[in-house]
Amino acid sequence: MTEAWGELNDYLLEDETVEGIVFGDWGGWVTKETEALVPLSQRYKVLSLEEAEPMMFGWSFYGGFGSPDCFPSVVWTDKRVISVVEYDGATGLSSFPRNPINHEPFFGS
C-alpha cells in the first residue's frame, strides 16, 4: 500500500507549501482501528503538515470501489485547495486553485 504521506507529497507542485490539513472520519465512520491512525482529538481541526505527518501512514488516499477506504481530507496550500474526491467508493486526490487565476476548469474526479 502506498502511504497517504507519500501520495500527498507526490501530488504537490515543486514549489508548493502546505499551510494546513483537516481530517474527517474514515469512510464516514469512527472505529477503534481508525482511531489508532488519526485520533478523534485530531479530526475536524486544522493541523500543520508537521502535526499531520505521523498520522499519514498505514492508509492511502487512493482506494477502489465500494465503501470509501480513507479519511476525507482537505489540504490548503499556498496555491491550491486539495481534497479527497469519491466516485462510487473509489477515492483519490483532486484540487482547484486557491485564488482566482486563468486556468482550464475540469470536472473533479
Selected residue with higher pLDDT from 70 and 106: 70
Whether the per-residue pLDDT at 29 is higher than 90: the answer is no
Q: Domain boundaries in the chain?
A: 4-97
Out of 41-45, 73-77, 79-83, 86-90, pick the least confident: 86-90
Question: What are phi and psi for residue 97, nearest 5 degrees?
Answer: -60, 145
CA dihedral 2, 53, 87, 64 (to 10 degrees): 20
Per-residue cell: 18: 502546505
Whether the per-residue pLDDT at 99 is higher than 90: the answer is yes
Out of 4-8, 48-52, 90-94, 105-109, pick the least confident: 105-109
Strand partners, 96: 81
Question: What are phi and psi for residue 21, nearest 5 degrees?
Answer: -145, 140
Q: How far apart are CA 76 and CA 22, in angstroms?
A: 9
Whether the per-residue pLDDT at 49 is higher than 80: the answer is yes
The per-residue pLDDT for 1 is: 55
